[in-house]
Structure formats: structure tokens, C-alpha cells
Amino acid sequence: MAAPRSAAVMNRILLLAMSLLAAGCDSIPADPEGTLRQIREERLFRVGLIASRAPRPDGAADLLRRLSSATGARPVVEQGAAEPLLQRLEEGDLDLVLGEFTEKSPWKSRVTLSEPIASHGSNILAAAARNGENAWIALVDREARAAAPAGR
């Protein structure tokens, strides 16, 4: 049977996994569409801020400051309605959409929501990133956690 071959395949995969680990976890995960690399190269990231009648929340500004210092890029912010912004995020025209989402937002499967920065009731203030951009998502998630006011 295919026993020796499958063992060889397994060995090769283990070897690959180990060399990846040895190479350092910094480059893993990577972005399939290169969002984070591009942000670092162009020194700017495009943010859509979902328009709302409520005053701009502190947490959002804090998150943008943190992302800015983590990447060395400055945010280019535009305001708009939620749907068009999210759709442009999905297509890669924006890097981040900040705003209020509901806990059960149907957008949750089409974009990736960060940890909530703040929450009131069943609404959360969160940052949305393009699906699969795992390096960028990891960074946004970490900074969102740090931006979230302690104790909430």
C-alpha cells in the first residue's frame, strides 16, 4: 500500500512546519492581499468611519492613534454610510471600517470584526477588516484590545 509514501509526505510536512517555526512566528500569519505590507510601504491606511448622530467615540480615535504608531502610517479617514463603506472594505478599497455594529450583524461573515472597543447594550464599537488579511487582523485585534477602556 501507500504506507512509505504517506510517511514521507508526513515527514516533509513536519519538516516544513518546523522550519517555519524556526524562521520565526513574526511573518506568520501573512496577508494574502498584502494589506499590512502595503500600509507600511505607503505609510497610510484608509479608514471608513461609519457616520452616526452620536459624537465620535473616544475609543475609535484611540485605536487609530495606536494603529498609526504601530505601523508608522497615518490614517486617511472618510465618513459615510455603513453599507457602502463595508462593501468597499470587502473589495479592498478600504483597510478598516470603524463604527457600531450589532452583536449579530450579518456582516460578521463577510468582514472580520475586531474585539469590541466599547459596547452599549447589544451594540459594539468595533473595527472591521477584510476577511483573510490575517496579519493586519491580528494587529488591529491587539490594538483594539489595548484601546478598550479597562474594566468594560
Partner 1 sequence: MRRSIPAQIESDIERAVRLEWWTIAWMASIILLMGLVMGSSQVMRTALIEDVLSLVPSLVFLLAIHFERKPPSARFPYGHHRVNSLAFLVAAVALCVMGAMLLFESAVSLIRAEHVTVPPVRLFGEEIWLGWLMIAALAYSIVPPVILGRMKLPLARRLQDEVLHTDALMQKADWMTGLAGVGGIIGIGLGYWWADSAAAGIISFSILRDGITALRIAAAELVDGAPRELGSARLEEEAEALRARLLELYPGADVRLRDSGRFILAQVCLAQVCAIPPPGPVDLDALWPGRPERSWRFAQLSFAPREKERDSA
CB burial of residue 44 (10 Å; 0-12, 13-18, 19+): middle
Site string for partner 1, 48-87 (x = CB under 8 A): ----------------------------------------
Site string for partner 1, 102-141 (x = CB under 8 A): -------x--x-----------------xxxxxx-xx--x
Number of residues that bind partner 1 (CB under 8 A): 26
In the complex with partner 1, which residue's Cβ is closer, 9 or 76?
9
CB burial of residue 53 (10 Å; 0-12, 13-18, 19+): exposed
Peptide bond into 29 cis (omega under 30): yes
Q: Does 8 bind partner 1 (CB under 8 A)?
A: no
Binding residues vs partner 1 (CB under 8 A): 9-10, 13, 16-17, 20, 25, 28-34, 109, 112, 130-135, 137-138, 141-142
